[in-house]
Homo-oligomer: A and B are copies of this chain.
């Protein structure tokens, strides 16, 4: 019992469930990608904003605490000083970790709008937290990277974000031709709903359920094809297993109108908009939406983005949430998924126009439009594109091994010479013989190890071990004998250390 207690009293060295650590290149590759993206945002005139991870639950909104379940979706806790903890907790006193970067933007804009310029254009990068069940590849802390223009109703603001998103993807390393920005407009969708009788502008609440069914049907176009969608717009659809999904109950003429909306894409933005104008002819809101899309298409065309930013009425994701333009960036190259199936990589960013950002705080409608990049997905795409080749060796530092413990200064001087030449280098600081030191070099994926014992010292030379070559050979060579015969180690004059190491590093990359 006492033993048990002792054992249990040691803390477990574990992250909480759903959290993880990021090591080495996982950190630096993400940082490099985000730095390339935010440089584009900056050039577009957006300003950085960094809010704290912690907000009042009240300011975060959306997720409000109740007695039975103090948090749902957010990490929240009682933020009062201990001595003040009496009586009921007001949401104003509860603290919570932000679940996205938009809610803090709303708080900042409501708090500082007199000091901020209008429009306020900001970008933000950082982790957000979700108190949700974690799953494979789904963590409770992850990065978001957002850019928003708050206080502008102009479609030019939407067009600009689409152009900026294209430039940001290219700056991150996605080649032109490997992505497309698809643009749609909620108002056009509303126009379609109006024309088919599912939306009454005078009573916009009614018919919400049926509209939701239509939206979900359209979203299945990729999977079910036009016939499947059409069935779901009407009575419903029986799938291969025999299960029946109830449809939206539209008559044939109405279902035709919805389908003509979904299939309205033409050869360019102007032609697509002309077709949409026909589809929503009966709806004022719909025509406003088409006019906005026309402006966006014309601006993107004039700036040379016409080939990669397209009006696409089949995009419905987010249409339920946004109030005007909706856009998303899709990567078009193929990958092989977990099941061995080839498919397009898919969406890596999305956004749109909203007009009630600060409503909760001030009661005023302030128009805004913005985009959020899925940082982990884009990073995965870049790794997919670059391939897993290389990268294994060469990430680690050049290692100066320690043969003689009394000569640390000499070894450290070599390291200083290498560092001053801009190379990543270190002296082995652990204990142990050469075998142990080379094992360390292996774990660090060091490209080169430098060895200088007494004999080398007297002869004015050093040994350079090409560990990158060694690793490649080891993968190819069958027997130990062959291995030993390979010239992965050379002697060079001590005076030429830096030049020879550089040459070996270059050889490794050739």
Point out residues on A near B: beta carbons under 8 Å.
10-16, 19-28, 31, 35, 42-45, 47-56, 58-59, 61, 68-69, 75-79, 82, 91-92, 95, 97, 107-108, 110-112, 116-119, 121, 127, 129, 140-141, 149, 151-154, 156-157, 159-160, 163, 295, 298-299, 302-304, 358, 360-363, 396-397, 399, 408-410, 412-413, 416, 419, 422-427, 429-431, 440, 443-444
Contact = CB atoms under 8 A, between A and B. Distances in A.
Number of copies of this kind of chain in the complex: 2
A151 B430 contact: yes
Contact of A50 (B21, B61, B425): B21
B140 A13 contact: no
A152 to B, nearest CB: 4
18 contacts: A10-B360, A11-B61, A15-B59, A15-B111, A21-B49, A21-B52, A43-B419, A43-B423, A44-B425, A45-B424, A45-B426, A53-B127, A54-B140, A156-B408, A156-B429, A295-B408, A303-B412, A304-B416
Contact of A59 (B12, B20, B55): B12
A428 to B, nearest CB: 8
Contacts of A399: 45
Nearest to A47: B24
Given A48-B28, A54-B140, A76 B75 contact: no
A486 to B, nearest CB: 24
Nearest to A21: B51
Contacts of A426: 44-45, 121, 160
Q: Of A45, A153, A427, A443, which is in contact with the most chain B CB atoms at under 10 Å from its CB?
A: A45
Contacts of A12: 56, 58-59, 92, 361
A415 to B, nearest CB: 8
A14 B299 contact: no
Given A152-B429, A423-B43, A117 B54 contact: no
A121 B116 CA distance: 43
Contacts of A58: 11-12
A49 B24 CA distance: 6
Contacts of A140: 54
